């Protein structure tokens, strides 16, 4: 049987062995972390150890880290939480035009509550227009700006430190969605100058269902629904202790191997970009140099995206398409639209620590063969229709 090649690690990664071990250990710590008995203290110790790991890894303080159910909740808590806390000061929120759908979803909820959401455009590589961003955050009534660290769809790295500085000068809070770079590139909340930062565990080898939000000390934020003293009143419900422990273990290992892995992933995705660009009808998107190490976005001209996706799956190769844009497979990409490419469906390939050059070569060979077949079918169809018309 042909070995499978999984190239959708920007969506979800395998659970690391150290994370699985930490999760299994934490499952035996059934006590409530807010209780003072022995079982509660054991659970609390595991939870706070994991919190400290995440805090140290992003150069934060432990009390600035809030555990969430994942990246989506982290983003929603940041955007809606600041809006609830600062709504009396202004009703404008600024975001880039190529954010993840969860950011747009949080924005839609705010619009329904009477807030204005202003989108800031990007260039043909997906890089934020800093001049437009600076003007947007300076507009009266702006209370929050949100810009992702790297595009979830084309991999382009954003000038987050510069954007955060402009926001700070305008006395506007700044949130960054770092789900595609956590565990892949160094994150330093002080160096970036962000007030809030979202991370997602299953992007770097933790299980799904766990994430975190960094909230700079003094940043006003109101959680919803209201809870008790857990997570400093910022979210309701008992913490996912097993998930948090696994996330801490996965992050520790990811940080230890980050330099070597980033170099290896950049090499692999460089091969992917070159190989994709050499296939007729394929266009590679995103910045060629200022990009996340593991992710490449591309499109295929005149091809049904679902056919491409299913045909590759039949060949035991998994990639993603469509849903990384605004909603449904086969839907034109809103990210590419913002980059000046209209009516085009995006595909995404993303690598991991076990991806090999042989995997990359096989994917490129299969995609080249597939697109050639599709072009031949399309040409034959056109010729048949032309003959019928005559």
Mean residue pLDDT across the chain = 93
What confidence score (pLDDT) does residue 390 get?
64
| pLDDT at residue 325 in the model | 43
Last residue of a domain, one of 230, 253, 276: 253
pLDDT tens digits, 255-292: 999 999 999 999 999 999 999 999 999 999 999 999 99
Query: Which of 195, 224, 253 is where one domain is finished?
Result: 253
Exposed/middle/buried for 43, CB within 10 Å: 0-12, 13-18, 19+? buried
Whether 158 contacts 181, CB under 8 Å:
no
Question: CATH number for the domain including 367?
Answer: 3.90.1150.10
Residue 109 pLDDT? 93
239 and 307 inside one domain: no
262 and 249 part of one domain: no
Residue 171 has pLDDT above 80, yes or no: yes
> Is there a single domain that holds both residue 172 and residue 38?
yes
Q: Is residue 93 domain-shared with residue 138, that is, in the same domain?
A: yes
Q: CA-based Rg of the chain, rounded to a whole angstrom?
A: 22
Same domain flag for 57 and 206:
yes
Q: Are residues 366 and 246 in the same domain?
A: no
Say how many C-beta atoms besides its own lie within 10 A of residue 277's C-beta.
12
Whether 201 and 299 share a structural domain:
no
Q: Which of 231, 253, 275 is the last residue of a domain?
A: 253
Give the mean pLDDT of 314-320: 96
**SS3 category, 94:** strand
CATH classification of the domain holding 94: 3.40.640.10
Which residues 6+ apart lie within 8 Å of 148 measured at CB?
Answer: 96, 98, 99, 100, 103, 158, 176, 177, 178, 179, 180
What 130-138 contacts at long range (C-beta under 8 Å, 24+ apart), as own/partner pairs, is: 130/159, 130/162, 130/163, 130/166, 133/94, 133/96, 133/163, 133/166, 134/166, 134/170, 136/94, 137/94, 137/166, 137/167, 137/170, 137/172, 138/170
Is the domain of 28 the same as that of 165?
Answer: yes
Q: Which helix (H) or strand (E) holds 9?
A: none
The angle at the Cα of 331, spanning 325 to 336, to the nearest 5 degrees, equals 50
**What's the number of domains the chain is made of?**
2
CA gap 368, 288 in Å, rounded: 21
Asked whether residue 241 falls in the same domain as residue 309, the answer is no
β-strand partners of 157? 150
User: Are 99 and 245 found together in one domain?
Assistant: yes
Average pLDDT over residues 60-82: 97
Structure confidence at residue 332 (pLDDT): 86
pLDDT value of residue 144: 98
> Count of H helices and E strands in the chain?
11, 13
Co-location of 349 and 225 in the same domain: no
Residues 187-245: pLDDT tens digits? 999 999 999 999 999 999 999 999 999 999 999 999 877 777 888 888 888 899 999 99
pLDDT, one tens digit per residue, over 318-348 is: 999 865 544 455 678 899 999 999 889 899 9
**Cβ neighbours of residue 135 closer than 8 Å, sequence gap 6 or more:** none
Identify the domain containing residue 324 by its residue range.
Answer: 5-11+258-389
Same domain, yes or no, for 164 and 288? no
Query: What's the pLDDT tens digit per position in 78-136?
Result: 999 999 999 999 999 999 999 999 999 999 999 999 999 999 999 999 999 999 999 99
């Amino acid at each position: 049987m042909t070995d499978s090649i999984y190239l959708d690690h920007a969506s979800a990664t395998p659970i690391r062995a150290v994370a699985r071990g930490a999760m299994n250990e934490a499952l035996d710590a059934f006590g409530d972390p807010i209780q003072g008995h022995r079982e509660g203290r054991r659970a609390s110790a595991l939870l706070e150890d994991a919190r400290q790991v995440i805090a140290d890894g992003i150069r934060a303080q432990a009390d600035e880290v809030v555990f969430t159910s994942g990246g989506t909740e982290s983003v929603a808590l940041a955007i809606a939480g600041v809006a609830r806390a600062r709504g009396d000061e202004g009703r404008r929120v600024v975001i880039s035009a190529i954010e993840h759908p969860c950011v747009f979803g949080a924005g839609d909820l705010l619009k329904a509550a009477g807030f204005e959401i202003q989108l800031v455009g990007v260039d043909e590589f997906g890089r934020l227009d800093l001049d437009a961003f600076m003007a947007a955050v300076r507009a009266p009534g702006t209370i929050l700006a949100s810009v992702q660290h790297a595009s979830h769809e084309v991999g382009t790295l954003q000038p987050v430190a510069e954007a955060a500085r402009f926001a700070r000068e305008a006395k506007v809070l700044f949130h960054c969605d770092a789900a595609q770079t956590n565990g892949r590139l160094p994150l330093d909340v002080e160096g970036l100058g962000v007030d809030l930062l979202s991370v997602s565990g299953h992007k770097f080898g933790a299980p799904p269902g766990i994430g975190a939000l960094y909230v700079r000390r003094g940043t006003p934020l109101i959680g919803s629904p209201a809870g008790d003293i857990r997570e400093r009143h910022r979210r309701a419900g008992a913490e996912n202790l097993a998930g948090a422990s696994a996330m801490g273990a996965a992050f520790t290992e990811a940080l230890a191997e980050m330099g070597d892995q980033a170099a290896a992933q950049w090499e692999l995705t460089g091969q992917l970009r070159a190989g994709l660009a050499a296939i007729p009808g394929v266009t590679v998107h995103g910045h060629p140099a200022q990009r996340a190490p593991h992710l490449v976005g591309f499109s295929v001209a005149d091809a049904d995206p679902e056919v491409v996706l299913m045909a590759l799956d039949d060949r035991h190769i998994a990639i993603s398409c469509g849903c990384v844009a605004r909603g449904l497979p086969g839907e034109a990409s809103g990210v590419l639209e913002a980059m000046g490419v209209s009516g085009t469906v995006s595909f995404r390939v993303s690598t991991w620590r076990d991806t090999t050059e042989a995997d990359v070569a096989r994917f490129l060979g299969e995609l080249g063969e597939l697109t050639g077949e599709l072009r031949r079918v399309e040409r034959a169809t056109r010729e048949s229709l032309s003959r019928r018309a005559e």
